[in-house]
Amino acid sequence: MPMDAKELFEILVREHSAMLLVYLRTAVREPALVDDLFQETMLTAWRALDRFDRTRPFGPWLRGIAGKLVLAQRRKAAGNWLLCGEEMLDHLNDRLTAVHAQPGDTLDEKLAGLRECLAKLPEPYREAVRLRYLEQLSPAGLAERLQISVEALKKRLQRSRARLLECLNRKLAPAEGL
C-alpha cells in the first residue's frame, strides 16, 4: 500500500526536525522566535509538500523554507542583530548538509559520537570547548576566565576542533569491507 502525503511528511519531519532546530537556534538567538519559526516552517512545508521534489534531499529543502522565514523576520525587525543574514544562513545550511552526509543514521548518533570524542580531548581543550560552545562565553570572557590571551584561546579552540573532527571521522567512518 503506497504511503500517503501525511505519513511521508511525518517520517521526514521526524528525521529532520532535530537538525532544523539546530539550524534555527544557530540563526536566531531568541528561543520564543525559534519556536515560532519552527512551527511556521512546518506549516509552510506541509502546505508546499506537493511541490517537494522527491529526488532531492528533504533537509536542505526544509532549511531553505526556514531560511526564507528567518530573512523575512529579519526584514520585519529592521536587521535585528538577533537574526543572522543570508550569507550566514547559506554557510550554516552547507555545514548541516555536510553533517547529514556523515555516516551515522541519526543526528543523535552523530551527537553521541561527538560527546565521546569530546570526552577524549585533553582537559584544557575540553574545558575551552565546553565554556565556549555550551556556556557560550565570548572569546574575550573565555580567555580571561582561562587566564590566557585571546590568541592562545583561538589556537586552543582551533586545535580542539581539529581533534574533534579527526576523532569523528574515525568514529563515524563506515567499517572497511562492508
All structural domains of the chain with their residue ranges? 5-101, 107-172
The CATH class of 5-101 is: mainly alpha
Give the pLDDT band of residue 55 (cuts 50, 70, 90). Answer: confident
Decide if pLDDT at 82 tops 60.
no
| Residue predicted with more confidence, 88 or 144 | 144
Indicate the CATH number of 107-172 among 1.10.10.10, 3.40.50.970, 1.20.1260.10, 3.30.390.10.
1.10.10.10
pLDDT at 162: 87
pTM for the structure as a whole:
0.54
Residue with cell 528533504: 58
Give the pLDDT band of residue 2 (cuts 50, 70, 90). Answer: low
Q: Which of 4, 40, 35 shows the shortest CA–CA distance to 21?
A: 35
Decide if pLDDT at 35 tops 90.
yes
Strand partners, 8: none
| Residue predicted with more confidence, 99 or 160 | 160
Give the cell for residue 45. Answer: 512545508
